[in-house]
């Protein structure tokens, strides 16, 4: 095992796959000459050249469409957005073309493409640069959605995403690129659609994903001091979602808290809540609690932003609530 940064895990995954398959290329804003806006493609231009690591204009609709079209001629593109907030400019290409090519062509064309970049908030970036769109993309049939929380998962899942024959939305975070973690020295991939139990516990199930999972880890550590054992599940993949792992955990703990950095209406937490009450309702000893951002655009003020975002204290409060502990 070796310790690397999250950005290095992304770069390694892309580079290893591009060495393995010459039909793979990377395209996006500042991915080549600048080594990536967050240095997640550092050194790739030197190794693969400007035909396979391609800088684009600020034209998300244009280069997204080029990427989708190139899959129909045998390529496997990786499209990088500087942030998924900017992907809104190209979302028509993702939803109406990439996600539908296989069905609309009667199975004649696959669309092996990865759309990747950071999602959600990253400090004082204000309303238009702090949005989490996982649930938007997960709502669309034909797309797979992956949101890793650490370098090990990022590398293994990105390699699987690049090899997948369907379009994959791969969401990262500006605030995770410097995070360090261990990854194997050799080749490995991780299966899409399989959650990871980060820690086992018998008292309450806590489900989360992406960078906000860190707040769940903090909360679990604090609650352990009180004798409360949290089972922490990292979804890793949003679509397809590993419901079975959640169901089995709830059968054991009889309580569920969901932590998600997203607006509260119609999000991933909402879907999980429905599926749990539909399949394992009789195992619940308390109503499900979900923790999201405030139902407003993200504020610029650091004081307001701290109130807007969920944190570990919110998780502790929710866990105590489902356990009927008055504090």
242 and 293 co-located in one domain = yes
172 and 246 co-located in one domain = no
Q: Any idea what the CATH number is for the domain that residue 231 is in?
A: 3.40.50.920
Q: Is 103 a domain residue?
A: yes
pLDDT over threshold 80, residue 20: yes
Catalytic residue among 17, 29, 80, 129: 129
Q: Is 19 a domain residue?
A: yes
pLDDT, position 12:
98
**Number of separate domains in the chain:** 2
148 and 209 co-located in one domain = no
262 and 160 co-located in one domain = no
236 and 147 co-located in one domain = no
Q: Per-residue pLDDT averaged across 133-154, rounded?
A: 98
Q: Is 189 a domain residue?
A: no
Q: Determine whether 129 is an active site residue.
A: yes
Q: 196-240, pLDDT tens digit by residue?
A: 999 999 999 999 999 999 999 999 999 999 999 999 999 999 999
Q: Any idea what the CATH number is for the domain that residue 62 is in?
A: 3.40.50.970
**Of 183, 218, 237, at which residue does a domain stop?**
183
Q: Determine whether 60 is an active site residue.
A: yes
pLDDT band at residue 326 using 50, 70 and 90 as cut-offs = confident
pLDDT, position 256:
98
pLDDT over threshold 80, residue 103: yes
Q: 54-91, pLDDT tens digit by residue?
A: 999 999 999 999 999 999 999 999 999 999 999 999 99
168 and 204 co-located in one domain = no
140 and 166 co-located in one domain = yes
166 and 217 co-located in one domain = no
Over the range 6-41, which residues count as b (16 or more CB within 10 Å of their CB) and which as e?
bbbbbbbbbbebbeeeeebbbbbbbbbeebbbbbbb
179 and 279 co-located in one domain = no
Q: Is 190 a domain residue?
A: no
256 and 160 co-located in one domain = no
Which percentage of the chain shows pLDDT scores above 70?
Answer: 100
pLDDT over threshold 80, residue 327: no
23 and 153 co-located in one domain = yes
121 and 179 co-located in one domain = yes
When the pLDDT of each residue in the chain is averaged and rounded to a whole number, the result is: 97
**pTM for this entry:** 0.97
pLDDT, position 111:
98
First-to-last C-alpha distance (Å) of the chain? 43
**Of 159, 183, 207, at which residue does a domain stop?**
183
State the residue range of the domain holding 219.
196-322
Q: Is 327 a domain residue?
A: no
Catalytic residue among 8, 60, 261, 289: 60
Residue 27 makes CB contacts below 8 A (sequence gap 6+) with 53, 54, 56, 63, 66, 67, 77, 78, 79, 80
**Of 128, 152, 183, at which residue does a domain stop?**
183
Q: 260-310, pLDDT tens digit by residue?
A: 999 999 999 999 999 999 999 999 999 999 999 999 999 999 999 999 999
């Amino acid at each position: 095992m070796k310790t690397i940064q999250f950005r290095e895990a992304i770069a390694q995954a892309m580079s290893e796959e591009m060495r393995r398959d010459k039909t793979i290329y990377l395209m996006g804003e500042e991915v080549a000459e600048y080594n990536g806006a967050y240095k997640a493609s550092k050194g790739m231009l030197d190794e693969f050249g400007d035909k396979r690591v391609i800088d684009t204009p600020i034209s998300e609709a244009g280069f997204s469409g080029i990427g989708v079209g190139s899959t129909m001629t045998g390529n496997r593109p990786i499209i990088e957005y500087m942030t998924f907030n900017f992907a809104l400019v190209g979302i028509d290409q993702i939803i109406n073309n990439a996600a539908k090519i296989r069905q609309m062509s009667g199975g004649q064309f696959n669309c092996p493409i990865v759309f990747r970049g950071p999602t959600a908030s990253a400090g004082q970036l204000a309303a238009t640069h702090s949005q989490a769109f996982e649930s938007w993309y997960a709502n669309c049939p034909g797309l797979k959605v992956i949101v890793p929380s650490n370098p090990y998962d990022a590398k293994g899942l990105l390699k699987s995403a690049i090899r997948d024959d369907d379009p994959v939305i791969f969401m990262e975070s500006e605030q995770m690129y410097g995070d360090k973690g261990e990854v194997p020295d050799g080749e490995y991939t991780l299966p899409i659609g399989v959650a990871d139990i980060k820690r086992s516990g018998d008292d309450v199930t806590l489900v989360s994903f992406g960078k906000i999972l860190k707040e769940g880890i903090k909360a679990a550590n604090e609650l352990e001091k009180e004798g409360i054992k949290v089972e922490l599940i990292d979804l890793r993949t949003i679509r397809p979602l590993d419901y079975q792992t959640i169901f089995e955990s709830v059968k054991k703990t009889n309580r569920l808290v969901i932590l998600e950095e997203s607006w509260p209406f119609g999000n991933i937490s909402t879907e999980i809540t429905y599926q749990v009450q539909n399949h394992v309702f009789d195992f619940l000893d308390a109503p499900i609690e979900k923790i999201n951002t405030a139902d407003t655009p993200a504020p610029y003020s650091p004081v307001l932003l701290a109130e807007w975002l969920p944190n570990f204290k919110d998780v502790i409060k929710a866990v105590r609530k489902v356990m009927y502990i008055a504090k």
